[in-house]
Structure 1
């Protein structure tokens, strides 16, 4: 990508979209007919360019290149932040609002571009919080969504992220200060991320490009944790649980997991398989009870039970690296391979569940 951003900060491949009063920066590349379209949802403090790159970057260092080689399409959506392309500021945007809007944007982009095949959201880091909300909206919109893929992502379970007793730092506009403090200085949080991105010694994203093209300050409620700011209304633990839909197990999608291996991202490396595996088990049980509340499965019961035991490993993959393991040629290629595999696994799982439960 050689052309820089326009005056409003958008790259030539990007454009603004909006749904239910929520704007986003969109990037769309069609895949082969009938192939899945991935919906890339970025984590805290980042634009969705983490999936497709910046001016002057190497295409092979990003997922989009390797997904395209496999015929898989990509819709990448950047949530509204304080990035200069957004004229409207929404610092108190909720997880439910973002999940609903992102699903609506996806449906409209699919219709406008005449795309076919299933859609599979891939949420990195904080974006895992929106898995339930996106799935509910996608079902209402009639989107064919076999499941969700968590990319070192945190599920909609509060209490999994460290919360400072004094709260987080905020900008004057009320955004969670996840971006740079000024044009020339990266926060300690982003300096750590940058070291992780460049961990093999190859400079995938240098400090100047990172500050200019990737990092932003974030709506705090998207973090999915309560009591983050003094005076912030409707941000108790109960309100956070309601927004995330934490215990709405039937509304969760089946979720494939791609986790890192490095100690620098120990929580995801050690817990993602188990936490998302728990939610997958609850989802399977809810579908079973909904379909078989007055009957038994007979011989199919053993197959369903074996399926439940297999889910945590069947739907989990690992890529060597830290929180940004999907950046860089090797990591991006391996992650794209796992995404294709997990898309197939999710489709097969839906078919198996339908056969076993006669849905």
Structure 2
């Protein structure tokens, strides 16, 4: 299935039915009175988040969504039928913007979350509602109101715990295929990844996390160069970034450390230029292709000194799996600790904190 993470649609809700002006006409009942019914409600258009959908491709081709109008009221106290509603199913992580003003309307980041995109018009009132002691034969009725009409832009940001970023051919696709159930395209040329890939990493029967791989970044990506800038938004929901750096230079005349440091700095600069919040996210360095380096530990030391890096750093070989097990265990422990912190902060905020709740036990690793 083609991956689409942006779409523009138009939604038009149904108009409410008109009220009726009618009078009861029956034999031997000379003064039957008004009996005009109300009009039916117009159809409303909703959006609901569905975790079984992972692309907006359906809305790239079906751009107009129009609900039916409500039925008009009739005599004999007959109310018009309401029009059926329309529900658009979108991937979890979809953000809805007003296409004309750019205002963000909704952020559907939970499964089965439901929002109203365009409300249907209400039905008009029949003359039945206007009778009174002084107006015994009312002929007033009201028309149904128009339904809402909007032009919307849908933007998908995938939900993942860990995001992979790096230069093309840094080994991101190989790594995600090694540690998760994802099977992206892998080849020995740049830009083999053309759309984000999600994989579930299972570290035990009860513990797992989701990792996202986006197309490789190049210098100038924040300004539109390459493919990565189109998908950087997918990293905004992640909690930690894994920055993969290729430390095996194919050119024997180049110092691999010097080249790797230059690549790493270029990626960090693109993050800073694209989004400050994304730049400030927790980031771990992963030095890949250690199986092609004669002295891995010396290279790691020289790389960190040249870059001035003091954060977490791992040396791996995504091809043969060397070092990947330790990496995913460390990631799982860090994510579990972050979950405990968020649960604690939330429960303290709403007053439901319990001191011996196992979720807040820092010594547990099976949360």
Q: 1 or 2, which has the higher strand percentage?
A: 2
Larger Rg: 2
Q: TM-score range by the shorter chain?
A: under 0.3
For normalisation by structure 1, the TM-score amounts to 0.28
Greater helix fraction, Structure 1 or Structure 2:
1
Q: Which has the higher contact order (CA 8 A, sep 6+)?
A: 1
TM-score, normalised relative to structure 2 = 0.27
